[in-house]
Structure 1
Amino acid sequence: MDPIPLVHASLGEQELAAVAEVFASGWPAGQGPKGKALEAQLVARYGVGDAVAMCNAGAALHVALLALGVKPGDEVIVADYGFPAPAHAVRYLDAVPVCADVRADTGTIDPQAVADLITPRTVGVIAVDTVGIPADYVELQAIADRHGLFVIEDAACAVGAKYQGREAGALTEVGVLSFHGRKGASSGEGGALLAADPKIGADARLRSSFGIGSIFDMGKVVGLPIPEFTQIGYNYKLSDIAAAILQVQLGRIDELLARRDAVATRYAELLADEELLTVPYVPQDRTHAWQTYMVTLDASVDRAAVATELRGKGIGCGHGTFAAHIQPVFESKHKCPVSADLHQRHLAIPMHAELSTNQVERVVDALRSAVRTHSVPTRTLGGAA
C-alpha cells in the first residue's frame, strides 16, 4: 500500500501562481512588495500593532528578546515541553532559560510552575502553544503582571488556533508564528513576529535586516541614499517568494484547518475505546491547530517497538516533541517530571490536511494492533502475569 507520511504541506497551483508573480516582478529577495503585503495581511488578521515577516520563528524569538531588553544573566522562564527554540533564543543572549513543567493533560506550561520559579533575576516568560494548543494565558498574564514580567507567546505550532475567542499568536504583548513545512500555513520555512506595540515591531524589523532599513524602499528614492548601520542586526528577512506563498496559505487557513480538525475528530472517535492510549485533550475555552496529533501511550507499551511496526507498514510516526530540561546543552537544574513523562509516552501519528478517511482508518487499525502487540502485561505482586 502507499505510504502515509507523518506530515505533508498543502501547496498547489495557487501558490505556484503567486511565485510566478514574484519571478515576473524582478524582486525575489526580502522586504519587497510581497513581504509588505504579507505583513499588512497579518496585522489585519491578528489585530496587532505591527507584524514583521521573518525567516523562521526562532529568529523572531531572538529579536523579540532583544527588543524587550533581555540582558546577559537575566532569567527567562520557558515552557519545558515543545521544540526548544525558546531556550535556544534565551541562550543566544547569554541569559538563563529556566524550564517550567507543564500540564499533564494539554502539555502546555503550568502557571503554578511558573509562579514557583520566579526569582529577583526573572524578567519574563515564554509560553509555548504545544503542538498547536494555546497555553493558559489569563493565568500566565496575571502572574506576569504581579511581578512586572513580559510574556512572549510562542505560537509557532498554533496558526489558526484560538483561546477564548482570540487568535493564537496575538494573546500577549509579543507573539511568534512559524510557517515551517509541517504547519497549518506553510512556505516551507518562514516565520513572523506579532507585536501589540508598533515600537517593538519597528525594533524587530530593523534588527532582522542587519540594523538598516529596507533596501527595496531605498531603491525607490530619487538620488543615492546610503544606509547607516545604527545597531548590530541579523539577516533574518523572509524572501518575497516565501511571502507570496504565505499570502495564499493564510487565505486558505480556515479551509486547511477544517480538514485537520476533521482528521482529529475521526481519530478521537476511532480510538475512544482503546485502553492502551489516550487521545489529546482540548479544554472548552480554546481550539487546537493540530500541527501534530500525539497520542499518549500507556506506560506498559513499548513505544519504540510500536513505531518500528508502524513504519514497517509505511505509516509515518514520531516521538512527539522535546523535554528541554533533559537536553545536554541546557544543563537544567530544574526537574520537570510531567514533561519528562510525556516525552517518553507521546507518539505522533500522521496529521495533515491531505489525509483521506481511508488513510485515517488504516493508521488507527495499525496503531491499535501495534500497541496491543507491544504492551507488557501488568505483573501481580507474586510476579505472575
Structure 2
Amino acid sequence: MSKVDRIPLVHASLGEKELAAVAEVFASGWPAGQGPQGKALETLLRERYGAGDAVALSNCGAALHVAMIAFGVKPGDEVIVADYTFPAPAHAVRYVGATPVFADVRADTATVDPQAVADLVGPKTVGIIAVDTVGMPADYTELQAIADRHGLFLVEDAACAVGATYQGREAGSLAEVACLSFHGRKGATSGEGGALIAADPAIGAHARRLASFGIGSIYDQGQVIGLPVPQFTEIGYNFKLSDIASAILQVQIGRIGELLERRNRVANAYAELFADEELLTVPHVPDDRTHAWQSYIVTLDPRVDRAAVATDLREQGIGCLHGTWASHVQPAFESRQVCPVSADLFRRNLGIPMHAELTESQVEEVVQAVRKSVHNHVAPGARAA
C-alpha cells in the first residue's frame, strides 16, 4: 500500500481496546511467546472452532510448515495444492522436500476444483491443501470425500477466511487441520500471526513442540519447582507467537462479528454499484457458504488493459492489487503443469479497497474511478457499445 493512498487497499481495525491489552502484557513481565496470553488465546481458539487443540504461531506459513511435518510428509511425496492463491501451501510442501502438485480452480469461486484434485491423485499423493481463496471457503464436502477415498490428509488453508462459513460450519473447522493467518489485512489481526487448529490433540501437541525448537514452553518449565533441563529430542523451529500479539488477538477475535458485518456492507455496496457494469464481474458467493471478504476482487473483461487501470487508480490515491497468484507459473516451483482457469484469473483479476474502515462515500468514489478507467482502457477496436 502506498503511503499516499487516500483510499487504501487494506487498513487494520486496531484501537484503544487492543492498546489496553498490550499495556497489560507489558505490566505482566512476560511479553514473549507461549506465556499466559498465548495460553488464553489458544483456549479461545480451541473453543471457537470446537477443536482438539489450537496452537498460536508466528504466521500461517509456519502453521502450514508444521502441518506438513506433523503429517509425516517427506521427500518423494506429492501434495495436491490449490493453484490460485498466495503460494504459501506450495512453499510449505517444498520446505519438507516434497513436491507440490497444482490443482486448477473453479471459474466462478476461484476455489480449488474438486474434479481437478481427483484427476491429480496418484501413487505418490499423500495429501491435499485446499485454500479458502481470499475469504471464500472451498468445496469441503467433495474434497473430504476424495481424501477419504484415497486415504489422504486434508488441510484447510483458512488464512483469509476468519469469519466465513461453509454449510453452516465456520472456516477453520472444515478439515482435520486448519491454518489461520492474523496478518495485517485479515479479519482479525495482530499485525503478523497465525494458528494451527487440529481435530486431533496429538497433532496440536506436536505442532506446539515444533514451534519452540522441539522443547515446548519455557514459561511452563519456569513454573516447575527445581531446575528442569529440557532435552532436544527432535529438530524444531522458532515459530512462537508473542504474548503481545496473543493479547491483541483476543480482543480482535471478540470483534470478528462486528468487523465482518462492516466488510459485508462494503461488499454488498460494490455488488450493487457494479451490477450493470459490462466490463467487469464481481465475486460470486454460492448459497451454501459465506465470504470473509479479506479482499474484494473483480474480474476484468479480457479487452481491458488491467495495468493501465491500476495506474489510473493509483494516480488518484486509490489502492489496488493484481488479485492473487497463479502458483504454477511462479519460477520458484519450476512447474510444467497447466492450470488454465487459474492462469486466466491471474491475468484478469483486480483487487480494489476492502476493509472495515471504508466509508460509503469512499466506496462510491472507488466504483466511479474503476468504471471510468475500464471504459477508457478497452483495447482498440474492441470498445464496448
TM-score (norm 2): 0.98
1:106 pairs with 2:140? no
**2:283 is equivalent to residue 283 of structure 1:** no
2:365 counterpart of 1:362:
yes
User: CA contact under 8 A between 1:38 and 1:243: conserved in structure 2?
Assistant: yes
Per the alignment, residue 224 of structure 2 pairs with 221
Return 241-250 or 328-337, whichever deviates more: 328-337
Question: Which residue in 1 is equivalent to 2:54?
Answer: 51
How far apart, CA to CA, are the structure 2 residues paired with 1:30 and 1:73?
34
Contact 2:303 2:382 in 1 (8 A): no
The answer to whether the 8 A contact 1:295-1:348 is kept is yes
Q: Does 1:74 align with 2:77?
A: yes
Counterpart of 1:148 (choices 142, 147, 151) is 151
Aligned match of 1:169: 172
Spell out structure 1 runs of 4+ moving beyond 3 A. 377-380
1:195 aligns with 2:203: no
Map residues 1-385 of structure 1 onto 2, 5 A cutoff.
3-378=6-381
The structural deviation recorded for 1:377 is: 4.8
What's the offset of the Cα at 1:356?
A: 0.3
Secondary structure of the structure 1 residue equivalent to 2:333? coil
Separation in 1, partners of 2:374, 2:14: 33
Q: Which runs of 5+ in 1 are unaligned?
A: none
1:345 and 1:230 mapped to 2: Cα distance?
49
8 Å contact from structure 1 (residues 300, 378) kept in 2: no
Ranges in structure 2 where 5+ consecutive residues have no aligned partner: none
CA RMSD of aligned residues (A): 1.2
- Is the Cα–Cα contact under 8 Å of residues 263 and 356 in structure 2 kept in the other structure? yes
Partner-residue secondary structure (3-state), 2:138:
coil
Cα separation, partners in 2 of 1:321 and 1:2, compared to 1, 3 Å? closer
| Residues 185 and 253 in structure 1, CA contact (< 8 A), matched pair in contact too | yes
1:274 partner letter: E
Once the two structures are superposed, residues 330-358 of structure 1 have per-residue CA deviations (whole angstroms, 9 ceiling, x without a partner) of 01121000000000000000000000000
Q: Which amino acid aligns with 1:10?
A: S
The amino acid across from 1:168 in the alignment is A
Distance 1:135 1:378 in 2: 38
TM-score (norm 1): 0.98
Instruction: Find the residue that maps to 2:134 and give its secondary structure.
Output: helix
The Cα shift of 1:288 comes to: 0.3
> Do 1:103 and 1:338's aligned partners in 2 also have CA atoms closer than 8 Å?
yes
Q: Report sequence identity in percent.
A: 75
Tell me, in whole angstroms, the C-alpha distance in 2 between the residues paired with 1:181 and 1:34.
20
Give the partner amino acid of 1:162: T
